[in-house]
Structure 1
């Protein structure tokens, strides 16, 4: 039984409970279930679901292929637009994207289960190791991709398909980025993230160098000298600070680190958790941390968010999931001070907030919630070490519509760019589109054959 401080320990539950608690959130459809689910699709000609998909997958087509008994063809339709379609099927907020746009999504009906159908098709293709793509004849061009997350992997795969040699640099010991380290353990079980990485890299032509950090082991200038193009898929490595009294005390932890530790744990029993946990934040990270704290055996878990329910970045589905697991969500509360006892967390003082003329302000009323562990989930920040003279705005890399940065032959995509979203599917789309732009740039730079007299 691991212990970090009084009240925070691992092994609170019988081992069998961890396996049950962290089982697959949405179990895979079997063949019959998939056929029934696909039969509900109207195959709309204007396909609002497809418009709502950041990667523009032809959703009516892939569902029709399932309904006609062709899941392999369906998987190819998905992978043509989103090579990480398997993970996106598991973690995409479909309830606010494609399924929200589904014409069956009415007060009387539920939408077509697009996400689960996508998983059905892609799982079959991956289990059968169906390879739909090969590397084109070598172009002689070499591209560096920084970051082996969704954006970097999607970019690398599309570049390899075009015949360009790719080297991926990643600071961690495993590829996958957010998919490997930042997703709730119950959303991606059985080491699926690594299985998908292996599937993507099996095309060939892609080398991955782990333990290589930008700004520590190399600079952007080093890469632009050695490669014909560079793609930056850096994600968000930093965690925003509370800037409160007591923030550095034992028992105040980053939710991002907590989630990453859970993802790497085999049994989950070795991950310490408090009896009374408070999570600060209103996004997906806050929900994932809170739910998993409860699943680890915490007796009380409370999410505190400084605005209202309607302002939370976490979808209504995710909020409902948290409450169904016993998590309490409290709104209009802003952290003021972390209460300590013997230099350890004893609680958190919060101040009530309200909107005045559209501006968030405090009311002067305060209260204390007892806690022995506090997780910070108030957003992540971009760490710009080693990037030289790139143009930034609001702490992110500025790019054009094709992902081109202010530096020649350098593109970027995913959460690290201005306008990037904290979504796997959006990062995939940006990485894929940047690869197409890089390929066009290479083609435009090639000398044209002289006209025959």
Structure 2
């Protein structure tokens, strides 16, 4: 997108003080007394449904009890045993749809135990002491390549290093972290937490990071398989679906993931251009993050346009309500038809939709919205399959991430069967690491 030729798209709509306030921590961290009070609400269920709802199987009643007894470091160890990225997951995991939704307090009173904030309190307490709770096992002499330094790759690498293997992580970007670093709203992870978490994780030793290297561009699966004893692919989804409509290539039309990445890496938010009228096409978390942050940068009118009804949105109801609370308009049952404008986008034409016998169709009725920025957030695609068998549009896996090629595992967003959540990617990386270890040590 070339904002220089897009009328109405300018930087510094808000001053530095307003921007700092807008992009402050979404949820303030709990203080020790607040954490003790929050922990006291837990029933410590022996058959806790919150544990079943957690993709990483964290023993939630145990870590909350440890907080209530004044040992948050022990609570953090309980969390990290199952989820080494527990600090970030406490910030970005949709707890309202997972553990907190399953909480007995939620079902009885409509107010769950604040599991996510308690998890952040515990993990932050331990990480702030710059100590690492794990030591490496005796060296096995085995070497594993991990391609992709996102949540799945980092979790995989840490577990393998802890088990005594040497790990080399390759990533296409200049910095590690994947979506944690480049792909989530800035107000969910402040104070450069994603980078600090990577440094803390890698302090276990045995992990080497090589940036600027992508599979299919400098790296080949054959070469990695020859050099290493095992390979774990966590390459994510780097491609972005196009709108496929007239005007999709106009100035002012861009990918939401690129916008979010630019914002996350910006040293000065006042230099980021934003329009007066922004329309985001899509219904997932990326759409919400792009829309809310456009509003926080100073856009006057921001609309999320989604082709189906509210219940079909993949973004949680909490995220939908968060967007609405920031003044974002949610428009349902509309699909993009044409982007209008002379060189740069000026309006977007949307067609109302209806579902007939399970099939989505256009009704012929259209609406035009003024727009000087349009962001695509309609899903991402696999950049390379490395010659592996696919399941739909993702790499096919069985068991704990085994691919169609012996000695090669995959996990995270690039692998079939996931739900595109950070916490699920961590679980897949961890479980694949254990399976790789079992195979290598036979």
Provide the TM-score with structure 2 as the length reference.
0.98
Aligned residue for 2:96, secondary structure, equals: helix
| Farther-moved stretch of structure 1 (146-155 vs 9-18) | 9-18
Aligned residue for 2:304, secondary structure, equals: strand
Confirm or deny: 8 A CA contact 1:18 1:267 kept in the other structure.
Answer: no
Which residue in the other structure is 1:357 paired with?
Answer: 357
Where structure 2 has 5 or more consecutive residues not aligned to the other structure, the ranges are none
Confirm or deny: 8 A CA contact 2:5 2:344 kept in the other structure.
Answer: no
Which residue in the other structure is 2:392 paired with?
Answer: 394
Aligned residue for 1:8, secondary structure, equals: coil
Confirm or deny: 8 A CA contact 1:4 1:272 kept in the other structure.
Answer: no
Alignment deviations for residues 47-71 of structure 1 (CA, whole Å, 9 cap, x no partner): 1000000000000000000000000
In structure 2, what is the Cα distance between the partners aligned to 1:21 and 1:69? Answer: 33
Confirm or deny: 8 A CA contact 2:246 2:339 kept in the other structure.
Answer: yes
Measured after TM superposition, the shift of residue 215 of structure 1 is 0.5
Which residue in the other structure is 1:52 paired with?
Answer: 53
In structure 1, what is the Cα distance between the partners aligned to 2:19 and 2:164? Answer: 45
Which residue in the other structure is 1:411 paired with?
Answer: 409
Confirm or deny: 8 A CA contact 2:100 2:114 kept in the other structure.
Answer: yes
Task: Give the aligned CA root-mean-square deviation in angstroms.
Answer: 1.0
In structure 2, what is the Cα distance between the partners aligned to 1:3 and 1:42? Answer: 57
Aligned counterparts, 1:46-445, within 5 A: 46-106=47-107, 108-340=109-341, 342-384=342-384, 387-388=386-387, 390-444=388-442
In structure 1, what is the Cα distance between the partners aligned to 2:229 and 2:294? Answer: 46
In structure 2, what is the Cα distance between the partners aligned to 1:419 and 1:7? Answer: 42
Alignment deviations for residues 9-45 of structure 1 (CA, whole Å, 9 cap, x no partner): 1111111111000000011000010000000000001
Alignment deviations for residues 257-293 of structure 1 (CA, whole Å, 9 cap, x no partner): 0000110012311111110000000000000000000
Which residue in the other structure is 1:449 paired with?
Answer: none
In structure 2, what is the Cα distance between the partners aligned to 1:442 and 1:423? Answer: 28
In structure 1, what is the Cα distance between the partners aligned to 2:395 and 2:358? Answer: 29
| Farther-moved stretch of structure 1 (103-112 vs 151-160) | 103-112
Measured after TM superposition, the shift of residue 109 of structure 1 is 3.1
Measured after TM superposition, the shift of residue 108 of structure 1 is 3.4
Q: How many residues align?
A: 440
Aligned residue for 2:254, secondary structure, equals: strand
In structure 2, what is the Cα distance between the partners aligned to 1:401 and 1:24? Answer: 38
In structure 2, what is the Cα distance between the partners aligned to 1:4 and 1:68? Answer: 60
Which residue in the other structure is 2:29 paired with?
Answer: 28
In structure 1, what is the Cα distance between the partners aligned to 2:397 and 2:359? Answer: 30
In structure 2, what is the Cα distance between the partners aligned to 1:56 and 1:32? Answer: 27
Confirm or deny: 8 A CA contact 2:90 2:117 kept in the other structure.
Answer: yes
In structure 2, what is the Cα distance between the partners aligned to 1:290 and 1:216? Answer: 33
Aligned residue for 1:94, secondary structure, equals: coil
Which residue in the other structure is 1:447 paired with?
Answer: none
In structure 1, what is the Cα distance between the partners aligned to 2:363 and 2:7? Answer: 34
Decide whether aligned partners of structure 1 residues 138 and 107 sit closer, same or farther in structure 2, where only a CA change above 3 A counts.
closer
Measured after TM superposition, the shift of residue 107 of structure 1 is 6.7
Alignment deviations for residues 334-376 of structure 1 (CA, whole Å, 9 cap, x no partner): 1111111x21101111111011112111111111111111000
Measured after TM superposition, the shift of residue 72 of structure 1 is 0.3
Measured after TM superposition, the shift of residue 4 of structure 1 is 5.0
In structure 1, what is the Cα distance between the partners aligned to 2:269 and 2:114? Answer: 30
Where structure 1 has 5 or more consecutive residues not aligned to the other structure, the ranges are 445-453
Alignment deviations for residues 176-198 of structure 1 (CA, whole Å, 9 cap, x no partner): 00100001000000000000000
In structure 1, what is the Cα distance between the partners aligned to 2:223 and 2:109? Answer: 59
In structure 2, what is the Cα distance between the partners aligned to 1:434 and 1:106? Answer: 34
In structure 2, what is the Cα distance between the partners aligned to 1:254 and 1:56? Answer: 34
In structure 2, what is the Cα distance between the partners aligned to 1:415 and 1:107? Answer: 35
In structure 2, what is the Cα distance between the partners aligned to 1:106 and 1:60? Answer: 17
In structure 2, what is the Cα distance between the partners aligned to 1:393 and 1:82? Answer: 27
Confirm or deny: 8 A CA contact 1:3 1:10 kept in the other structure.
Answer: no
Alignment deviations for residues 354-399 of structure 1 (CA, whole Å, 9 cap, x no partner): 11112111111111111111000001111116x13x1112111011
| Farther-moved stretch of structure 1 (357-366 vs 182-191) | 357-366
Measured after TM superposition, the shift of residue 106 of structure 1 is 3.2
Confirm or deny: 8 A CA contact 2:58 2:82 kept in the other structure.
Answer: yes
In structure 2, what is the Cα distance between the partners aligned to 1:261 and 1:353? Answer: 33
Confirm or deny: 8 A CA contact 2:6 2:345 kept in the other structure.
Answer: no
